[in-house]
Amino acid sequence: MSEPPWWKTSVVYQIYPRSFCDTNGDGVGDLAGIRRHLDHLEWLGVDAIWLSPFYRSPMADFGYDISDYCDVDPLFGTLADFDALVEDAHDRGIRIIVDWVPNHTSDQHPWFVESRSGRDNPRRDWYLWRDPAPGGGPPNNWVAAFTGGPAWTYDDATGQYYLHSFLPAQPDLNWANPEVVEAMHDVLRFWLDRGVDGFRVDVVHLIGKAPDLPDDPEEYLPIPHSGLNHRPETHELLRGLRRLLDSYPGDRMMVGEVYLLDTTMVATYYGSGDELHLAFNFPPLYTPWDAERWRSQIEIVSRELDPIGAWPTWVLSNHDNKRHRTRYGGSEARARAAAVLLLGLRGTPFLYAGEELGLEDAVVPDDRVVDPGGRDGCRAPIPWEPAPPHGWAGADPWLPWPPEPGTRNVVSEREDPASILHLYRRLLAARRRSPSLREGDLSLIDAPPGVLAWRRAHQSGDERVLIVNFSAERVTMPPSGLSGLVEVASDGSGEGALFTGEVGPDQALLIDPGATAS
């Protein structure tokens, strides 16, 4: 049996650098703070880390508006800091994935400054400029994310509009221009040559656009930038990116943010194994704490991805959405059960920093709101120690702390073997032990209402069974020959004992059916 590529069997840990750890006292996390806590990630057992943007940026969208793709913003450190982080992570067996934003730059990027300087500038066509509509106003009816207004801004100096799918400070690149394609390939080469293992590609489905930029259908208008997506032009661009990554050794990869709430469409971005290695599938992220809804999502993913040989991803929280503990009602029992759900499904799980601590979103008062998209709560800083400033360098952090930082912090939870932090560590260790959890098949098992159960099986003969009780009632699994040892329980109860058939409210179990009591 050949070894699968690392990105199929890994657990990826997302770090939002501003919020991870500040080492220089300015209240903003930095690369040195990430490097300082690599020991935590190694102890926890993650395989790779994904870094949200750290590039030079005016920070209109907190780093997703890039003014230099090939340098580190001084807020986060230097290129030398990045190189040291890569080296230290690799020494620990942890791979590095960096965010890459190909759809748009900052309006302060030198490319756009040149493009804006005149209609005859050689870089004019690097962005999407159009004359006003015949009766005046924007060239079409496209809507921008965040603002909800037109996706076009008029430039008085040159008498044309430029396209921005997001903020006006984020002009869209013109990927129909071969010079843009080559320049962006050079960006990837820059980071690949520095040793990065892969890229998380921001809103990658938007880079290909219809040449005539037609109006969106009326039903798309309430959904910003939805009409720009799912263009055939994107797929050839992705194949070019894939060829570039495949030319490097070491299974370099890209996972795409394909923000389409339709798994059938998401599946097309894998191509025939020649486009994205992985694609984020967002419907599960918006699925409530409900067994039948989750069963449906698992069935849809299997139906759409299995026939084309595509490998799924699973995400419960990230920097753009409320943390799952907050979404699921604030219950730690549910947060613990959700950990078993995330780490037990077939595919690559992405774990957002702080989920291992059971964090909830911060309550952000009006005078501290900074994000144009309303995402501050999930971006609250990570508490490392019980006492203020919680392991940060001393200044008040850029956002308020999440609830109860004095107890929900790394030091306190690491000292408590019953904490959710130790639950995550046990689950990650179980994945490393079990080929079925890392790469095995998944089949659903009959279960009582409110309960989701499935079996993972590997060709080596290794098996695991997972049960998640989404209900507030104790349930008994139907007699089906299911037996074995409870390897991990979300609340810690019964671990190492034979499974009795009972599952507690909001409890989740990982069972080794081949094990017997010693």
User: How far lies 250's CA from each of 218, 326, 435, in Å?
Assistant: 46, 38, 21
What mean pLDDT is reported for the chain? 95
The tokens 């067996």 sit on which residue? 93
Residue 173 in any domain: the answer is: no
Residues 409 and 447 reside in one and the same domain: no
Distance CA 396, CA 297 (A): 41
Residue 435 in any domain: the answer is: no
Give the domain extent around 419.
Answer: 6-103+178-429
For the chain, helix (H) and strand (E) counts, in that order, are 14, 20
Residue 227: the pLDDT is 47
Residue 484 in any domain: the answer is: yes
Q: Is the pLDDT of residue 133 over 90?
A: yes
Q: If we measure between CA atoms, which residue out of 475, 474, 468, 473 comes closest to residue 489?
A: 468
The pTM score is 0.96
Share of the chain above pLDDT 90, in %: 90
Model confidence over 432-471: pLDDT tens digits?
999 999 999 999 999 999 999 999 999 999 999 999 999 9
Residue 315 in any domain: the answer is: yes
3-state DSSP helix/strand/coil % of the chain, to nearest 5: 30, 20, 50
CATH number, domain of 223, equals 3.20.20.80
Q: Is the pLDDT of residue 411 over 60?
A: yes
Token pair of 212 as six digits = 């005539």
Q: Which range is least confidently modeled, 282-296, 489-503, 504-518?
A: 504-518
Give the number of domains in the chain: 3
Residues 199 and 259 reside in one and the same domain: yes
CATH number, domain of 143, equals 3.90.400.10
8 A C-beta contact, residue 387 and residue 393: no
Distance CA 33, CA 81 (A): 10
Q: Is the pLDDT of residue 1 over 80?
A: no
Show which residues are catalytic: 202, 257
Residue 24: the pLDDT is 96
Residues 283 and 343 reside in one and the same domain: yes
Strands (E) in 209-267, as ranges, are 253-256
Residue 214 in any domain: the answer is: yes
Burial class (CB in 10 A: 0-12, 13-18, 19+), 480: exposed
Residues 81 and 134 reside in one and the same domain: no
CATH number, domain of 459, equals 2.60.40.1180
Token pair of 385 as six digits = 């120690």
Residues 330 and 402 reside in one and the same domain: yes
End-to-end CA distance of the chain: 31
Residue 172 in any domain: the answer is: no
Residues 248 and 141 reside in one and the same domain: no
Residues 478 and 390 reside in one and the same domain: no
Residues 199 and 221 reside in one and the same domain: yes
8 A C-beta contact, residue 41 and residue 58: no
Residue 231 in any domain: the answer is: yes
Model confidence over 238-269: pLDDT tens digits?
999 999 999 999 999 999 999 988 899 999 99
Residue 215: the pLDDT is 86
Please give the angle made by the CA atoms of 423, 294 and 310, to the nearest 5 degrees: 90
Domain boundary among 379, 407, 429: 429
Token pair of 442 as six digits = 């998944």
Domain boundary among 163, 190, 206: 163
Question: Residue 218 — pLDDT band, cuts 50, 70, 90?
Answer: confident
User: How far lies 67's CA from each of 97, 118, 164, 178, 476, in Å?
Assistant: 20, 19, 15, 20, 57
Residues 420 and 327 reside in one and the same domain: yes
Residue 248 in any domain: the answer is: yes
Residues 367 and 350 reside in one and the same domain: yes
Domain boundary among 377, 394, 429: 429
Residues 65 and 140 reside in one and the same domain: no
Residues 261 and 339 reside in one and the same domain: yes
Most confident range (mean pLDDT) of 22-31, 141-150, 259-268, 367-376 is: 22-31
Task: Give the pairing type, strands 485-489 and 508-512.
Answer: antiparallel
Model confidence over 348-369: pLDDT tens digits?
999 999 999 999 999 999 999 9
The arithmetic mean of pLDDT across residues 49-72, rounded, is 97
